[in-house]
Amino acid sequence: VGTLAEIRADLGDCTRCKLHTLGRRQIVFGVGNPHADLMFVGEAPGSDEDIQGEPFVGRAGQLLTKIIEAIDLTREDVYIANLIKCRPPGNRNPEPDEVAQCEPFLLRQIDRIAPRVIVALGKFAAQALLKTTDPITRIRGREYAYRDAVLIPTYHPAYLLRTPSAKREVWEDMKRVRQLLGH
């Protein structure tokens, strides 16, 4: 698996998928506590993340920070990464070949960090990790054994910005996360 620094070094100046030709400024690897009990997995960097080199720093990211703080943790306590590490043009959805090339690096990050709880944010992360094509509405509301962790799928914070009424379900999911962490 290697250390996080070794996993990052293996990505290098990655050219494995077409996103390297489609305007990405930099690879957005991940951020946070390398020994975190709790890890969040998002979809892909957006424009702000592509500029700053850190996941979830734009508007959805500010909401994610609030979600983390709602269970009395900080961004420094947790680890945050994405399913794919480069920004898709125009923030389009990740394509299957991009996920296929990039996902092994996420899996190595998960194995290295060995979190107790993984929160999959939105359909792309949840479907990829759980190897299912079920819709997120069917996936969420349950918990899954995933490697040595419990995986909790929930709605993506960008979806919550459009659909604030879904925050109630995310709060239910986060209460379960807090319970699993035993904080």
Q: Which is nearer to ligand URA, 37 or 43 (CB)?
A: 43
Kindly state whether residue 115 participates in binding ligand URA, applying the rule CB under 6 A. no
Of 7, 19, 39, 44, the residue at the interface with ligand URA (CB under 6 A) is: 44
Using Cβ positions, the residue closest to ligand URA within the complex turns out to be 42
**Measured distance CA(81)–CA(97) in Å, rounded:** 19
Q: Which is nearer to ligand URA, 73 or 155 (CB)?
A: 155
* Closest distance of CB 126 from ligand URA, Å: 12
Kindly state whether residue 61 participates in binding ligand URA, applying the rule CB under 6 A. yes
Of 32, 45, 94, 153, the residue at the interface with ligand URA (CB under 6 A) is: 45
DSSP character string of 112-163: HH--SEEEEESHHHHHHHHT----HHHHTTS-EEETTEEEEEE--HHHHHH-
Q: Which two tokens stand for residue 176?
A: 């379960």
Kindly state whether residue 77 participates in binding ligand URA, applying the rule CB under 6 A. no
Size of the site for ligand URA (CB under 6 A): 13
139 sits in the region (left: phi over 0; alpha: psi -120 to 50; else beta) called: alpha
DSSP letter for 106, please: H
Amino acid at 121: L
> Other C-beta atoms within 10 Å of 92: how many?
10
**Measured distance CA(133)–CA(135) in Å, rounded:** 6
Binding characters for ligand URA, 3-32, by CB under 6 A (x = yes): ------------------------------
Q: Which stretch binds ligand URA (CB under 6 A): 6-14, 30-38, 51-59, 160-168?
A: 51-59
**Measured distance CA(74)–CA(49) in Å, rounded:** 19
Amino acid at 123: K
Kindly state whether residue 110 participates in binding ligand URA, applying the rule CB under 6 A. no
Using CB under 6 A as the criterion, which residues of the chain lie in contact with ligand URA when the complex forms? 42-46, 49, 55-56, 58, 60-61, 82, 158
